[in-house]
Amino acid sequence: MRDTWIRIGKKCIRFLLLLFCTSIAAFALMKCSPVDPLQANVGQTALGSMSAEQIEKLETYWGTNASPVQQYLAWITDFLKGDMGTSLLYRQPVSQVIAVRLANSLPLLLFAWALSGLLGVMLGAVAGMRRGKWCDRLIRGYSLLISDTPAFWVAMLLLIVFGVWLGWFPIGMSVPIGVAASEVSLAERISHFVLPALTLSLTGTANITLHTREKMIEVMDSDYMLFARAGGERGFRLFWRHGLRNILLPAITLQAASIGELIGGSVLVEQVFSYPGLGQAAVQAGLGSDMPLLMAVTLICAALAAAGNLTADILYGLVDPRIRKGGAQR
């Protein structure tokens, strides 16, 4: 047991180190960008009409003439204290913008994560057990097709079919336009939620389906499966008693590690549906050169993705009795 705790501790330290380096990388990239912080903050005309002394004063005030290392340290310590700076686009503290956006995005991500995981395991198990039959071909073909299709285009297709032609769901945003926030009903929120969530779930299933299918085929070829089948077990009972546990572990690990990909997909999907989430904020911040917001979104998304990977790593060690009992170190 002590070994397990040491292993988990090491993983956590690595997680923190990774986030630290991510913040350095993001900061370095931002420093490379041609965006001049002074000009972005006070505007070109205002900056042009200022005297050299005024500009110098401003530079000292904002610390833009300090060394990059000092700037980084100042930024990261403030960031950790919760002061993420002020968004240029929204003229609000970044932490507030992020809080609102995160509240919109999290349900979307969680729903899509759970649904794609559930669907993926089910489809993958069915395909693996019926290897070579028509339903295997269908599921495999669907998964390969989806993994070749850009997520934003799937979103656009769903938008055309269900939003424009059939008119079942609204075509964008998270709430109806022109309605006070307090008057938005839950049903309206859900109807705005369905299409983006569905798109993300559909695009998320492909990977886990294909992997679960591979694993299921492996399980079906095993001696214990052969024995169980020789004993007359078949169908759902066979799957429930011998298949599920063996495919579940890799599936959970894979799904936990897929959070990064899911966030990447949500950036595109939120953009198509104008869904005011974290991903859309990243796009707006990038296009509008709103560096404080872009950096904060990047760090938070990276933290979410890295936390997913960390969970996958820890789960892998804890759940599987073969690894838990020591020996196999990855």
* Whole-Å CA distances, 239 to 216, 221, 256: 10, 13, 23
Give the interface segment with other proteins, choosing from 18-26, 66-74, 94-102, 193-201 (CB under 8 A).
Answer: 18-26
Residue 149 near other proteins by CB under 8 A = yes
Subset of 116-145 contacting other proteins (CB under 8 A): 144-145
Among 202, 208, 251, 302, binds other proteins (CB under 8 A): 302
CA geometry: angle at 70 spanning 69 and 72, to 5°? Answer: 65
Do residues 242 and 225 lie in contact, with contact meaning Cβ atoms separated by under 8 Å? yes
For residue 127, give both structure tokens.
């395909």
Nearer to other proteins, 41 or 246 (CB): 41
Buried b (16+ CB within 10 A) or exposed e, 150-162: ebbebbbebbeeb
Among 85, 176, 264, 317, binds other proteins (CB under 8 A): 264
Residue 254 near other proteins by CB under 8 A = no
Nearer to other proteins, 120 or 170 (CB): 170
Q: How far is the CB of 271 from other proteins (least distance, A)?
A: 6
Burial category of 16 from C-beta neighbours within 10 Å (exposed 0-12, middle 13-18, buried 19 and up): exposed
Q: How far is the CB of 241 from other proteins (least distance, A)?
A: 33
Alpha-carbon distance of 246 to 250, in angstroms, equals 8
Subset of 29-68 contacting other proteins (CB under 8 A): 29-30, 32-35
Distance of CA 20 to the CA centre of its chain: 19
* Rg, Å, the chain Cα set: 25
Among 260, 312, 315, 324, binds other proteins (CB under 8 A): 260
Strand boundaries in 16-133, DSSP class E: none
Residue ranges in contact with other proteins by CB under 8 A? 14, 17-18, 21-22, 25-26, 29-30, 32-35, 144-145, 148-153, 156-157, 159-160, 164, 171, 260-261, 263-264, 267-268, 271-272, 279, 282-283, 286-287, 289, 294, 297-298, 301-302, 305-306, 309
